[in-house]
Amino acid sequence: MRVSSIVDRGEDAMTEIRSLVVASDLSAPARRAADRAAMLASASSASLALVYAVSGSALDELRRWLDTGSGAAQSIFEDCRARLRELAVELGARYQIRVDDLTVTGRVVEEIARIGDERAADLVITGTLGAGFVRSRLIGSTAERVVKKSSRPVLMVRRAPQGPYRSVLVPVDFSGWSGPSVEIAAAVAPGARIVLMHTVEMPFEDRLPFAGIDARAIDKLRASACAEALRRMRDLAARAGLEDGRWTALAPAGNDPSTQIVEQEKAQDCDLIVLGKHGRNAFGELVLGSTTNRVIAESSSDVLVSTSRDSE
């Protein structure tokens, strides 16, 4: 069902990308993330920094095992620095942008989060392990730990970028995380079609007949819940300033939002999913990353996790 509205963008909407930080380990997945970041920086005239955080404990362990002092470890560190600088120069020349490169030592995830804060990053961008023989390996990785640690929105890049994002799925649950998710989707993908989606959950739906509620009444309840969801998605679109014809709203029924999200990702041919770091389920309980983790593991698109929320 299509619903749309024409309004001015609110003052609290995220209207532009100004600063980007990319976590890189110089692997192929990290290169895809760097390419996406450079593409975003070029389109938005944002600053871009590549960060290679070398584990200090790993260097110490190497020194201990080699028993050759600091020379070998320092040589490895300098090689990483040189390779990162080469990547920065290459991306700068290709996209006609300035790319800073920072090679640091310490706890990898903490260093990435620290630099994201220092540079007031609008996005921290990282690769994932890609689609391997065990999909669940996508989570539990550095990317997932960055999402948990970072106070900044995190974009996990899975696909090699072929151009700007074309179609963005934004699952919403109408908690305080929903509005900022729509706004950052509009900022990151300004030319994309936005698909807002709310999974309509009917608690104990399979038990309602045993409580004397007939099928017609259940259908009516479900229809009312869908209509309410569409109205609230219209309000979210209005707040984010989404133009008429740019967005659609979906309200599928189901008791497993993550399954619905992955199904709609494919059905809508989306190349980016944007969702909040946390949310609330049908019972008002706080869900700490469970849906996000499943979407990261089971989807095939890039995933952007928003870390902003409205006061409720």
pLDDT at 287: 37
Name, in order, each residue with C-beta under 8 angstroms of 138's C-beta and a sequence gap of 6 or more. Answer: 128, 129, 130, 131, 132, 144, 296, 297
Supply the DSSP symbol for 255.
S
CATH number, residue 270 = 3.40.50.620
Tell me: the pLDDT tens digits for 13-63? 456 899 999 999 888 889 999 999 999 999 999 999 999 988 765 555 555
> Do residue 163 and residue 178 come from a single domain?
yes
> Do residue 9 and residue 23 come from a single domain?
no
CB burial string 256-291: b at 16+ within 10 A, e below:
ebbbbbbebbeebebbbbbbbbbbbbeeeeeeebeb
Residue at 7 is within a domain: yes
Q: Which structural domain, as residue segments, surrounds residue 87?
A: 18-121
Domain end: 121, 151, 170, which one? 121
> Do residue 166 and residue 279 come from a single domain?
yes
For residue 62 the two structure tokens come to: 């190497």
Residue at 12 is within a domain: yes
> Do residue 194 and residue 238 come from a single domain?
yes
Q: What is the pTM of this model?
A: 0.83
- What share of the chain has pLDDT > 90, as a percent? 52
> Do residue 97 and residue 243 come from a single domain?
no
Domain end: 102, 121, 140, which one? 121
Q: How many domains does the chain have?
A: 2
The answer to whether 147 and 117 have CB atoms below 8 angstroms apart is no
- At how many degrees (to 10) do helices 71-95 and 56-66 cross? 140
> Do residue 25 and residue 90 come from a single domain?
yes
SS3 assignment, position 80: helix
Per-residue confidence at 4, pLDDT binned at 50, 70, 90?
A: very low
Residue at 138 is within a domain: no
Q: What backbone phi and psi angles, to 5 degrees, belong to 18?
A: -115, -30
